[in-house]
């Protein structure tokens, strides 16, 4: 049941990304207890800092989602632009 709730929450979240602390509060569990469920579902985890509380948190997202692909492609474009600018100088 927990896997279903986590999977649907991530899938419906904005850009298919959600903080683990939000899921933990919703499910009344600890973030550490949910890590195994994230792995079982094949979700990617990225360490981050919660802006509001300043505490460590985990960003959970679907592996290979459009958002992560777009982010990687935009990073490649930015590197190419900066490399072109350096060559011009």
Mean local confidence (pLDDT), 41-45: 91
Q: Taking the chain, what is the end-to-end CA distance rounded to the nearest angstrom? A: 58
Look at 39 and 77; give whichever has higher pLDDT.
39
Global pTM reads 0.66
Query: Per CATH, the architecture of 2-63 is what?
Result: Orthogonal Bundle (1.10)
The answer for residues whose C-beta is within 8 angstroms of residue 68's C-beta and 6 or more apart is: 44, 61
Helix (H, G, I), strand (E, B) or coil at 29: coil
**Does residue 65 register a pLDDT over 60?**
no
């Amino acid at each position: 049941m927990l896997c279903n709730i986590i999977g649907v929450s991530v899938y419906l979240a904005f850009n298919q990304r959600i903080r683990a602390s939000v899921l933990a509060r919703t499910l009344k569990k600890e973030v550490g207890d949910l890590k195994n469920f994230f792995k079982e579902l094949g979700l990617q985890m990225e360490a981050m800092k919660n802006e509001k509380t300043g505490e460590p948190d985990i960003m959970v997202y679907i592996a290979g989602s459009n958002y992560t692909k777009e982010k990687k492609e935009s990073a490649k474009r930015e590197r190419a632009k900066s490399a072109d600018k350096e060559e011009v100088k």
